[in-house]
A = this chain, B = another copy of it.
Amino acid sequence: MKDKTYFMKKAIAAAKRAAACDEVPVGAVIVKDGEIIATACNRKERDNCAVSHAEIVAIRKACKKLGNWYLEGCEMYVTLEPCPMCAGALINSRLDKLYFGAYDPKAGCCGSLYDLVRDGRFNHTLDAEGGIMREECAALLSNYFRLKRAEKKESEKNRKGE
C-alpha cells in the first residue's frame, strides 16, 4: 500500500544516493494522484550551488514534468524539515501538503524556527506534518556527519605523521 511510509522510504532512498556522492543526505519525492512524479536529492556540491537542495531540484523536475509552475494537488515527502529557501519554494509552487522526516532545530522553517508554510499572510499556505520515519531520517544525517568527522580526524592524523 502506498502510504506515508512508502513515499518517505523513497525519499530516504534518494537521500542515500546523495550520501554516496558525498553530499549531505537529504532526499525528496513529489506525489500527485498517488504516483511519484519527481524524485531528487541534495546536489549542492555536485552543482556547486547552494540553491540545489533536494526540494528545489524536485520542484523543478515536477514543474518540467507537468509543464506548469502550479503544483496544485501535489504533495512533497522530504527527509529533513525544509529551510527558509525550500519552505518558500513550497509556498511559491502552491503545493498542497508537506510531509517531512527529521526536524531541523538549526534551520527548519516548517515548525522549528518559523512556520512559514502556514503563515496566512502569504498568498498560499500548506499543511505540514513532521516526524514521518523521524529516527531513520535523522540517522541518515548523524551517520553521515559522524563519518565526515572520522575522515577528517584520520586525514589530520596522517598529515601529522608525514
In the assembled complex, the CB of A99 is this many whole angstroms from the nearest CB of chain B, namely 19
- Say whether A123 contacts B107, CB under 8 Å: yes
State the number of copies, please.
2
Chain B residues within 8 Å of A94, by CB: 50
- Say whether A83 contacts B87, CB under 8 Å: no
Q: Is A40 an interface residue (CB 8 A)?
A: no
Q: Which of B63, B64, B84, B86 contacts A50 (CB 8 A)?
A: B63
Beyond A51-B56, A84-B116, A87-B88: 13 further Cβ-contacts under 8 Å? A44-B69, A45-B69, A47-B63, A48-B67, A49-B60, A49-B64, A49-B69, A50-B71, A50-B94, A51-B93, A85-B91, A88-B109, A107-B123
